Amino acid sequence: MKALKNLWNRYATPTNVKIAYVLFILASMAVAGGAPSGSGGVGN
């Protein structure tokens, strides 16, 4: 738990958190706005 807290303190800077937030929103936008067909679906 202490190691986790150390990692958080070291890497979760406001800039890094903001970058992660923007990437999460854009990935969500890509999945929600797009409508691609992947392989492996089942048709009938």
Partner 1 sequence: MILALAVVVGLIASLICHRGGALDRIAAISLRWAWLVPLALALQWPLLRAPAGLREQIGVQQVLFWASHLLLLAFVGLNWRSNAIRIVGLGVLCNLIVILANGGLMPVTPETLVQINPGTSLGQWTAGAHYGYSKDIIVAKQNVVLWPLSDILVLPAPFPWPAAFSLGDLIIAIGIIILLQGSPTSLRVLTVESRQV
Task: Tell how far CA 29 is from the center of its chain.
Answer: 11
Q: How far apart are CA 13 and CA 29, in angstroms?
A: 24
- Residue 23 has a CB neighbour count (10 Å cut-off) of 10
User: How near is the Cβ of 17 to partner 1 at its closest, in Å?
Assistant: 9
Per-residue mark of binding to partner 1, 2-31 (x: CB under 8 A): -------------xx-xx-xxxxxxxxxxx
Closer Cβ to partner 1, 12 or 18, answer by number: 18
Size of the site for partner 1 (CB under 8 A): 28
Look up residue 33 and give its two tokens: 């706005």
The binding site for partner 1 (CB under 8 A) comprises 15-16, 18-19, 21-44
